[in-house]
A and B are shown apart, each in its own frame.
Chain A
Amino acid sequence: MFDISPTEWTAIQLSLRVATVATLVATPLGIAVAWLLARREFWGKSVADAVIHLPLVLPPVVTGYLLLLTFGRRGLVGAWLADHLGIVFAFRWTGAALACGIMSFPLLVRPIRLSIEAVDQRLEQAAGTLGAAPWRVFLTVTLPLALPGVVGGMVLGFAKAIGEFGATITFVSNIPGETQTISSAIYSLIQTPDGDTAALRLVVVSILIAMAALMASEWFARRATQRLHGN
């Protein structure tokens, strides 16, 4: 039962790589977007907010198909990226990371936004009177105080990215060794006559990964909160 096959290992490693890259690339962007939504008023803000949340409510297959149309080899952006920068997303693990990043983006942004909104702006004013330019106020006051939310958002985003299935399989298919993540491997195994035991193994693995991520974030958030509340 616990004899994990090479193909399964590949799927596990790929899932971890895809979710890690998706989370690490999406986090700085997510922090910037969260800050804009929390602290700035601009024209079209509610539309921007809706677009960011769209992957949460659209059928994942729709998001995947839109990605294929946009970032596919013949897609508007995909063709340009391939011709000019040599970056190809279609049917590559990088495409899986892109799909996971977009699908998990709303879950990543939300806790960060809430924690930035909760930072006392009077502290930011105080930092300004002490000579800190706005970007340094952000780096030395706002961001450290919002850290529990940033970690929370990263864990939620990572967990979503690990589990992403619909958009990924639509956009980059289910190619063992390239785009076959844990989710798509389980899907393939269930459809194979003798795949039940192997599928079950991967189910256990994904439960373990999810548990580990949640416990790590819980531990980190507790520590960060202690640190922030001045003891």
Chain B
Amino acid sequence: MLQVDVSKQLGEFSIEASFASEGRVTGLFGASGAGKTSLINIIAGLLRPDRGIITIDGETLDDTAAHIHVPVHRRRIGYVFQDARLFPHLDVRQNLDYGRRMNRLAEDPAARKRVIDLLDIGNLMDRRPGRLSGGERHRVALGRALLSQPRLLLLDEPLGSLDEQRKEEILPYLVRLRDEAGIPMVYVSHDAPEMRQLATRIVMLRRGRVAAFGGTEVLPLAASPA
């Protein structure tokens, strides 16, 4: 269970968001500029809230009143960025192993093989990110986050920078991930049909505030939000 109740001033813009979600995939939905990325950066620990609390399964990650702010590298929250952010000096294999090495986790060949098969990236292992297509890069980024064994996975518009054809290429992997990996996810998007396919709970953001919360029925029928 993810519990968020935070506020943060970012220049002229402010975020005041409060929700608690038990869904397998919590969709953060809203127009660009609604504060979706800032909100998951706060959850990830990349941004520090001015006030409020964040807890995962009862464990406190942020509590400004008690001066608690768990640093990003100790949160065990995986993050798949919109721009993939693979390490250019490491090949795919080293990118995938990075989280395991940094968390000093034991090697788990079976789990590793599962993720590699799930994402279909076994044939890319010796390549460097510069030699991957956009879709391949996103799959590797997804695998890298999964293999760090996070307790929550944040996905920031993982399809946002891809064209329609590539979106169709990645979407099935995300659905499989939701159904097979068993890691709760927070999925950020401004695309209602995409949300409908993936999310189980929706947090609708508008100008930094939670405008609606519920099942996929709170999504607008039009393709893009107002």
Contact = CB atoms under 8 A, between A and B. Distances in A.
Contacts of A230: 88-89, 128-131
Given A131-B103, A133-B73, A231-B128, A123 B87 contact: yes
A131 B44 CA distance: 11
Contacts of A144: 89
Contacts of A24: none
B56 to A, nearest CB: 14
B99 interface: yes
Contacts, number: 74
Contacts of B87: 123, 126-127, 141
A45 interface: no
A128 B45 CA distance: 9
B188 interface: no
B85 interface: yes
Most B CB contacts (10 A, CB to CB) among A125, A126, A231 go to A126
A128 B47 CA distance: 12
A228 interface: yes
Nearest to B77: A129
Interface string A201-231: 0000000000000000000000000011111
Contacts of A134: 73
Interface in B140-191: 144-145, 148
Contacts of B131: 230-231
A132 B73 contact: yes
B88 A127 contact: no
A64 to B, nearest CB: 41
Contact of B85 (A122, A133, A145, A228): A122
Interface in B81-130: 81, 83, 85, 87-89, 98-99, 102-103, 128-130
B88 A130 contact: no
Nearest to A130: B99
Q: How large is the interface on A (under 10, 10 to 19, 20 to 34, 35 or more residues)?
A: 20 to 34
Contacts of B99: 130-131
Contacts of A39: none
Contacts of A227: 89
Contacts of B145: 129-130
Contact of A229 (B71, B88, B102): B88
Interface in A133-184: 133-134, 136-137, 140-141, 144-145
A158 B45 CA distance: 42
B46 interface: yes
A128 B81 CA distance: 13
B102 A136 contact: yes
Given A122-B83, A126-B81, A141-B87, A131 B76 contact: yes
Given A129-B77, A131-B74, 20 more contacts: A122-B83, A123-B85, A126-B79, A126-B85, A127-B87, A127-B98, A128-B46, A129-B145, A130-B98, A130-B144, A130-B145, A130-B148, A131-B103, A133-B73, A140-B102, A227-B89, A230-B88, A231-B128, A231-B130, A231-B131
13 contacts: A122-B81, A122-B83, A128-B72, A129-B72, A129-B73, A129-B75, A130-B73, A130-B98, A131-B148, A132-B98, A132-B102, A140-B98, A230-B128
Top 6 A-B pairs, shortest CB-CB distance: A230-B130, A130-B99, A230-B128, A129-B79, A131-B103, A126-B85
